C-alpha cells in the first residue's frame, strides 16, 4: 500500500471540511439536512421519485430518527472487512430498529482510510458494506430492503489524514426510501411510519 500525495490529501481535507457540520449521511451523497441524493454515487431517479411523491421529507425525518435512536456507523481494523464484536453489537441494534419498520428501505455504504490505491480502497469499501449487509440479513432483516451497495472508498474521510485512521474505516447505514408495494405506502400513510415508536429490544419480532 502507498500513501496519498500532498495534492490528494489537500483534496480530502477540503472534502472533510465540507462535511464537518454533519458526519453522517442521509442518502448517497449529502450530509443530513441537505438535499437528498443528487447523483454522484446515489440514484437521481430515486430522488425524483421521492420529490414527486412527497416522500422526501418523511425519508429525512426517518433518517434523523434512525441516527438518534441507534448507532449508524461501525468501524474496521486496518485493511480488513471482518466484523469485530463491537461492530456486530451495533449491527444487532440496527437490525432491531430496521425490523420494526418493514416499510422502509436502507442503504449501507462502505468507506476506507486514505492508505492504498483508489481501486483497492473501492473494493475494500464494498467488501465492508457487504459484510455489514450480510450480518443484518443474519439478524432477520429482509435482504430486499437493503438497497444495492455502493462503495465510497476513500472519498469521504471523517478525518483528512494520509495515516491509518480507524474513524475513516467504516460503514454507514442510512434510510434510503420506502418499499413501494407495501400497503401503508400505497395508502400514502408515511406519517404513520415516522410516528411509530421504536422499542429498543433484541426480542422485537423479526418483521423485516
Higher pLDDT, 81 or 45: 81
Mean pLDDT of 100-107: 96
Counting the structural domains of the chain, the total is: 1
Q: Where are the beta strands (DSSP E) in 16-91?
A: 73-75
Q: Count CB atoms within 10 A of the CB of residue 208.
A: 21
pLDDT at 67: 95
pLDDT digits (tens, 9 = 90+) for 177-208: 999 999 999 898 999 999 999 998 654 444 44
Query: Could you give phi then psi for residue 75, rounded to 5 degrees?
Result: -125, 170
Domain assignment present for 105? yes
Rounded to a whole number of angstroms, the distance between the first and last alpha carbons of the chain is 40
Q: What is the pLDDT of residue 50?
A: 64
pLDDT recorded at residue 149: 74
Highest mean pLDDT range out of 25-34, 35-44, 124-133?
124-133
Chain segment 50-66, per-residue pLDDT in tens: 655 578 899 999 999 99
Residues spanned by the domain of 174 = 6-194
The pLDDT-based confidence of 42 (bands split at 50, 70, 90) is very low
For 120-173, what is each residue's pLDDT tens digit? 999 999 999 999 999 999 999 999 999 757 777 788 899 888 899 999 999 999
Residue with cell 450530509: 31
Whether 137 is in a domain gets the answer yes
Mean pLDDT rounded to a whole number for the chain: 79
Q: Quick one: cell of 83?
A: 466484523
In a domain, 208, yes or no: no
Specify the CATH number for the domain of residue 114: 3.30.1330.60
Go through 22-52 and write b for each residue having 16 or more CB atoms within 10 A of its CB, e for each that does not: ebbbbbbbbbbeeebbeeebbbeebbeebee
User: What pLDDT was estimated at residue 54?
Assistant: 74
For residue 202, being part of any structural domain is answered with no
pLDDT at 75 > cutoff 80 = yes
For residues 65 and 198, the answer to whether their CB atoms sit within 8 Å is yes
Q: Higher-confidence residue: 25 or 138?
A: 138
Helices (H) and strands (E) in the chain, counts: 7, 4
- 203, part of any domain: no
Instruction: With respect to residue 133, please indicate whether it lies within any of the assigned structural domains.
Output: yes
pLDDT of 26 reads 31
| Residue 115 within a domain | yes
The span from the CA of 45 to the CA of 180, in Å, is 14
Is the model's pTM score more than 0.85?
Answer: no
Residue 34 lies in a domain: yes
- Rounded percentage of the chain residues whose pLDDT exceeds 70: 70
Query: Cβ neighbours of residue 10 under 8 Å, at least 6 residues apart?
Result: none
Amino acid at each position: 500500500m502507498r500513501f496519498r500525495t500532498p495534492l490528494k490529501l489537500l483534496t480530502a481535507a477540503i472534502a472533510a471540511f465540507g462535511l464537518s457540520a454533519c458526519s453522517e449521511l442521509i442518502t448517497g451523497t449529502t450530509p443530513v439536512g441537505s438535499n437528498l441524493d443528487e447523483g454522484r454515487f446515489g440514484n437521481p431517479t430515486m430522488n425524483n421519485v421521492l420529490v414527486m411523491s412527497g416522500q422526501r421529507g418523511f425519508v429525512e425525518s426517518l433518517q434523523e430518527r434512525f441516527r438518534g435512536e441507534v448507532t449508524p456507523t461501525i468501524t474496521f481494523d486496518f485493511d480488513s472487512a471482518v466484523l469485530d464484536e463491537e461492530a456486530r453489537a451495533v449491527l444487532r441494534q440496527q437490525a432491531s430498529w430496521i425490523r420494526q419498520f418493514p416499510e422502509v428501505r436502507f442503504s449501507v455504504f462502505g468507506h476506507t482510510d486514505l492508505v492504498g490505491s483508489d481501486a483497492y480502497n473501492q473494493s475494500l469499501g464494498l467488501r465492508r458494506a457487504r459484510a455489514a449487509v450480510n450480518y443484518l440479513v443474519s439478524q432477520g432483516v429482509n435482504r430486499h430492503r437493503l438497497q444495492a451497495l455502493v462503495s465510497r472508498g476513500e472519498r469521504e474521510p471523517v478525518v483528512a489524514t494520509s495515516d491509518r485512521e480507524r474513524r475513516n474505516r467504516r460503514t454507514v447505514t442510512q434510510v434510503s426510501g420506502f418499499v413501494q408495494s407495501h400497503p401503508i405506502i400505497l395508502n400514502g400513510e408515511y406519517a404513520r411510519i415516522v410516528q411509530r415508536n421504536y422499542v429498543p429490544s433484541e426480542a422485537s419480532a423479526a418483521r423485516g
